[in-house]
Amino acid sequence: MAGTVSSTPGEADVAPGEAVQTHYSAEEIYALLPHRYPFALVDRIIDYVPGKQATGIKNVSFNEPHFQGHFPCRPIMPGVLIVEAMAQVGGIVLTQIPGVDGLCVFAGIDKVRFRRPVVPGDQLIMTVELLAIKRLRFGKMYGRAEVDGQLACEGELMFSVVEPIPTVGQTSC
């Protein structure tokens, strides 16, 4: 229920019979998250369960700027960008919870482990599950990223909701 204090996630408010959007295009993601190139790291949401979890896709391309230096002869997606991509999928879950109003930023990461490299040509599939939300200001999530069914990264992500950001078209940031 919107506005309640909760230590566990709950269903978003959905009227009986109302269709729930379960997929998001890149354009729809851009409308929900403030990230832009080169930090927009989610191409599509392929499964979304309101108030619970989302699964997103990141198509890893050799044309991404970090591959110029990480590493020139053996391009590997930086781990911090894998974690950031998982966080952006988590941001889709948080921004859709009624009463959450503001920018969702990292407050911490725990137990993050990298299990295999992510390289150009890979399709990173990230599933992020809401573990807890408190006072609609703090969230904890578990993220898992896979390539070809193999675990690439997993860990806990903590978020804080800060003041709302200006919308596109406003003169100040």
What are the Cα distances from residue 121, in Å, to 50, 65, 148?
30, 15, 11
Q: Does the annotation mark 70 as catalytic?
A: yes
- Tokens 């295009």 correspond to 25
CA distance 121 to 144: 19
CA distance 154 to 114: 7
Q: Single out the catalytic residue among 23, 35, 66, 70.
A: 70
Residue 140: other Cβ atoms inside 10 A: 20
The set of catalytic residues is 70
